[in-house]
Amino acid sequence: MRDHEVVTPQGKAKARFVESECRQCHRQEFDLRANLQCETDAECPKEAPKCGPLAEPLNPSANLAMGIEPKVEGGKYCGTPNTEDEAKVDASLVELAPHLARGRRVIEEVACYGCHPIEGYENRPKAGPDLRHAASKLNPAWMAQWILNPRAFRPNTRMPNFFPERLNTAGYPENAKPKYTDGFAEIMKVRESDPEKRARVLNSLMPERFQPEQQAAILTSFLVANSEPFASADDDKSIPVGDATRGEKLVDTLGCYGCHTMTRPGEKRMEHPNRASHFDNGPDLGNVGAKTSRAWIYGWVKNPKAFAPETRMPNLRLSDQEAADIATFLAGNKFVGGQPKEYTATAGIDPNNADYRQVGKKLLNYYGCYGCHLVKGFEQTPGIGAELTEFGVKEVSRLDYGDYVSNHAQQTWEKWIENKLEHPRVYRYERVDTRMPEFGLAPQEIADVMVVLKGMRGRTKDNDVLGHRLTGIAAEREQGRQLVRYYNCNGCHTFDGRTGDIRALEAYTNESETTGPRFAPPVISGEGAKTHPTWLFGFLRKPMNLRPHLTVRMPTFGFSDPEATSLVAMFSALDGAPFPWQPRATPPLEGARKAQAETAFKAAQCTQCHTLGDSPSPEMAMKGAPNLLLTKDRLRPDWVARWIRDPQLLYHGVNMPSFFTGGANPLVGAAAAEMTKNLPGIAELAKMSGADVIYLLRDLLMTLETGSKQSVRTAAIGTQHASR
């Protein structure tokens, strides 16, 4: 974080909210990042402290039309010293408004928009689990304890606490503390027998009449009674017998930790640095067995959208046995606070009690649970919070401090919102009721959210006249980035200036025959310049196994056509690649040139690592090289040429070596080599430039096809199928 200073009548003071001004023009963009040009080190921020010429192009996949040799940008840039040439730098994307960017993402991750209408967060899916089938999924005893204090079960959950006063009695003034009584006794006093009159009396009972434990039990009673049985739910006897050891290995290797943590005794918590907040993205899997059953977990991991159509949880395309193994393992994870815990019957939970259902419905409306959760009968009910789009210009005179801040000199906009975010109900007193729950935001998260709120000023001249309006591919790019955040793509993949979280696991950092970076989810920087938009669209809609050596599995997210289109457009925009892509007409590869290309392919021995089929032998699969038959449909021709020229420049550490070092022709000595000297036309190939050989290989790869024709083509080349 860089502090900015401004001169005020009182002298110099840190401008906490200077970044809020950026939002006036950049409302559509969450991240304001750039590669900064410079003249001296003093101009560079601490995350990119050195100023110098670039060691490599900013984006080696960009500007493909300029040829196979990417050009390094001139001038100096802020970055980190290059390991091979310290006089040069590796450029770093610099956050130009880090507080604003983090604050907007914290709001997104906490889902403030569930209760509050906020410009820029419209039409978002519900952030919490679908509760329409709660009875089929959840243990009612666990539900009551979860509602009472979610962080006692999962310290990093974003589910807020609805009874914060009992956890921090010293932080709340006496007038702000509810005066709880015995709500069950109050219900027993109701004498009305007419259902409508009885309902009116029950609805008149304020929530603070009920102890927190009673409220949790009554809410649980309503949610269980209100839920619908899950039609395709399995019982434990109908699913395969599972093996917990195999299930644990699957969880460890399929990629679950891209989104989830696994807190078990003696284990370090998995961090997700791409999150702006400290809250978990997906639930901690170390205690999922405490809340649900093996049968439900089995059905969920097999097909999450069958249970909750709007869930972000993707489909890993598990076999019945894989799902059973995972369910058996996870159902045994019941660790709460480092110790196994069982949740047994709780007093007051009675879904058959009509009075509890009536009061439970009132509590649901009072707390606005449907702001985050889908609840039967409340799917379209709006959130209960105030509109925040113009909160940044709200006058202090319209803010009620209750009994919490009596000194008028301390009654500022900043102090009011800071207290509100830390302890939401401190301003409660006899004339004002506050229902906002406590999220447990960290001090830095509160500061960042305040920057965003300060910039919420409704329609302004800056925005209407000077605003940076995004249209076309730029608007699609930001829509794609929103989807990336929502589906947590950076949990696994490295791209757009962020490293995949999952790469921190030992399995992807320790080099061995079966571990190391090459077994991690692939780096997809440059994907827009690399792949055909039509192929990428199809892959996102229906993923296929491109790299058989990987155990981590690209799941099926169930993207809609508009979502997949936005993601494809985003990748193209990041690389400045044409979208929609229009292939350039190229002359057919035939005659003598085709013969030269086939000889170059043989001499280069591409099939020692690559397959020409989708059923590689285990030995070939471990080499991790893609099936070359996919090249024509999958890859853009100009990118293929640049890749052959120097794969290490495009993806550092990739398995494929750089054969054309410095642009030289690696076949120069092939005419004299024992293995290649008898190949037809090898002498002519040896005399060609490196670029000419690259284009021959590229053009041949772009003619390879899948299907019945392929056996003729590969036979003509004279290679052997890896599957044989």
Q: What is the DSSP string of 155-219?
A: TT--PPBS-GGGT-GGGS-GGGS-----HHHHHHH----SHHHHHHHHHTS-GGGS-HHHHHHHH
195-203 and 354-367 helices, crossing angle to 10°: 40
DSSP label at residue 669: T
Lookup: tokens for 96: 């130009």
| pLDDT digit string, tens, across residues 546-589 | 988 899 999 999 999 999 999 999 999 999 999 987 777 777 89
What global pTM score does this model have?
0.91
User: Residue type for 22, please?
Assistant: C
User: Residue type for 332, please?
Assistant: G
Average pLDDT over residues 445-455: 96
Q: Is residue 722 pLDDT above 60, yes or no? A: no
Confidence of residue 621 (pLDDT cuts 50, 70, 90): confident
Confidence of residue 232 (pLDDT cuts 50, 70, 90): low
pLDDT of residue 699: 95
pLDDT of residue 145: 95
Q: Is residue 707 pLDDT above 80, yes or no? A: no
Confidence of residue 238 (pLDDT cuts 50, 70, 90): confident
pLDDT of residue 335: 87
Confidence of residue 463 (pLDDT cuts 50, 70, 90): confident
Average pLDDT over residues 97-112: 96
Query: Tokens 């039990």 label which residue?
Result: 217
pLDDT of residue 12: 36
User: Is 421 in contact with 106 (CB distance < 8 Å)?
Assistant: no
| pLDDT digit string, tens, across residues 396-427 | 999 999 989 989 999 999 999 999 999 999 99
Confidence of residue 706 (pLDDT cuts 50, 70, 90): low
Confidence of residue 166 (pLDDT cuts 50, 70, 90): confident
Distance from C-alpha of 258 to C-alpha of 555, rounded to nearest angstrom: 12
Determine the number of helices (DSSP H) and then strands (DSSP E) in the chain.
29, 9
The closest alpha carbon to 427, from 450, 406, 454, 449, belongs to 406
Q: Is residue 502 pLDDT above 70, yes or no? A: yes
pLDDT of residue 340: 87
pLDDT of residue 230: 82
Average pLDDT over residues 27-39: 93
pLDDT of residue 236: 74
pLDDT of residue 298: 96
